Amino acid sequence: MATKDMAPVRLPPDAVALMDELIGGLYGTSRGEVARTLILDELKRLFADRITKK
């Protein structure tokens, strides 16, 4: 079983409202799933950009 590290974050109300608009779609069915998906997608993009720019 994989361990899950928690990393609480605080977001401005506008960011939370935008995330709430994504609930139920491609990004997930809860605020946590949407946040996780967005963060992981951005980290993957940043890592890929860094690798390809070498």
Domain boundaries, the chain: 13-52
Mean pLDDT throughout 31-37? 95
**Helix, strand, or coil here: 25?**
strand
| The predicted structure's pLDDT at residue 35 | 95
Q: Report residue 50 as tokens.
A: 């860094």
Which residues make beta-bridge pairs with 36?
A: none
Look at 54 and 42; give whichever has higher pLDDT.
42
The pLDDT, as a whole number, for residue 53 is 64
pLDDT at 1 over 70: no
27: left (phi over 0), alpha (psi -120 to 50) or beta: alpha
This prediction's pTM: 0.77
Tell me what percent of the residues of the chain surpass a pLDDT of 90. 67
Is the pLDDT score of 41 beyond 80?
yes
